[in-house]
Amino acid sequence: MRKPSPANIRAIFGQNLHQLCAQGPSVSAICREIGINRTQFNRYLAGESFPRPDVLDRICGYFGVDARILLRPLNQITPQPLNPLAHPALAPWLGTGLLAVPPSLLPDGFYRFSRQSFLEPAQYLRGLVHVQRSHGFTLLRGFEPRAALRQQGLSSHIRTREYRGIALHQEEGVSFLVARHDGRTSSFNFLTPVAAYDRPLLEGYSARTTRPPTQGQRLSRLVYEYIGAFGPMVMAAARSSGFCSLAALPALHRRHLQPNTPLS
């Protein structure tokens, strides 16, 4: 069997990198997230060099591939694209621009949120979610309070309580597509930044996916307040998660939820 020459290895690696980069944010953003010098990364893309083992490990970890990207074309390693939004039929409409959520708009870290209950309008829900960037995606993770699941006649097991989602960059803000495990239920959230606060604050709405007719409402105003890395504020938000009265919400959240104004 003929062994590939160093030039062939560099060429294959460069072509694979081009395909992987096309599925995520800008090359500059990828370099920052991986921690690689942009000039050196450009040499990899051009097939002029290949990385040291430790750098290759970081690249493989970021894109979710293995070291075979040095030797084999990407389509022989990963038959399915890493990013389904990069499918040729969808890319011009739902392509990589949606995935490039600016950290200035939605920083990594914890957010406490508030919204009106879908089932009991007199009640409000306080919650906590974590936002983190990984492999070019901006991901969300949280847990529904046990009382919210019991209210819907669902199990309060931790696997049922957990939900995850992906953030998408919109013209006026950011949207989240969120679902519980196995996609049993899902919701759509849209948030837009509110100016003049010392930390990121976003307001918008949450819509649940239910068939008509349905009990309760499908749409509710939503407020996300950034509280940063793990610390006392995060612990306090976790302890206070669950249903409460409007008066129990932070004054900042009450103001932006506009409880006396119909949501159209």
The CATH number of residue 46's host domain is: 1.10.260.40
User: Of 173, 171, 172, 176, which Cα lies nearest the Cα of 188?
Assistant: 176
What is the residue range of 45's domain? Answer: 6-89
Q: What is the pLDDT of residues 66-81, one digit of tens each?
A: 888 888 877 776 544 4
Structural domain count, the chain: 2
Within a domain: residue 77? Answer: yes
User: Of 18, 224, 251, 264, which Cα lies nearest the Cα of 106?
Assistant: 224
Q: Tell whether 60 and 18 lie within a shared domain.
A: yes
- What is the overall mean pLDDT for the chain? 83
pLDDT of residue 175: 95
Q: How confident is the model at residue 57 (pLDDT cuts 50, 70, 90)?
A: confident
Q: Tell whether 169 and 234 lie within a shared domain.
A: yes
- pTM for the full predicted model: 0.66
Within a domain: residue 114? Answer: yes
pLDDT of residue 81: 47
Q: Tell whether 241 and 123 lie within a shared domain.
A: yes
Mean of pLDDT values over 79-103: 68
Q: What is the pLDDT of residues 232-260, one digit of tens each?
A: 999 998 888 888 889 999 899 999 998 88
- Interhelix angle 6-21/38-45, nearest 10 degrees: 110
Amino acid making up residue 210: T
Q: Tell whether 61 and 120 lie within a shared domain.
A: no
Within a domain: residue 1? Answer: no
Give yes or no for a contact between 206 and 189, defined as CB atoms under 8 angstroms apart.
yes
Q: Quote the CA–CA distance of 171 and 82 in Å, as a whole number.
A: 25
Within a domain: residue 97? Answer: no
pLDDT of residue 128: 94
Share of the chain above pLDDT 70, in %: 83
- Which residue has 């600016």 as its token pair? 102
Within a domain: residue 54? Answer: yes
- Mapping DSSP to helix (H, G, I), strand (E, B) and coil, where does residue 121 land? coil
Least confident of 34-38, 73-77, 189-193: 73-77
Q: Tell whether 122 and 185 lie within a shared domain.
A: yes
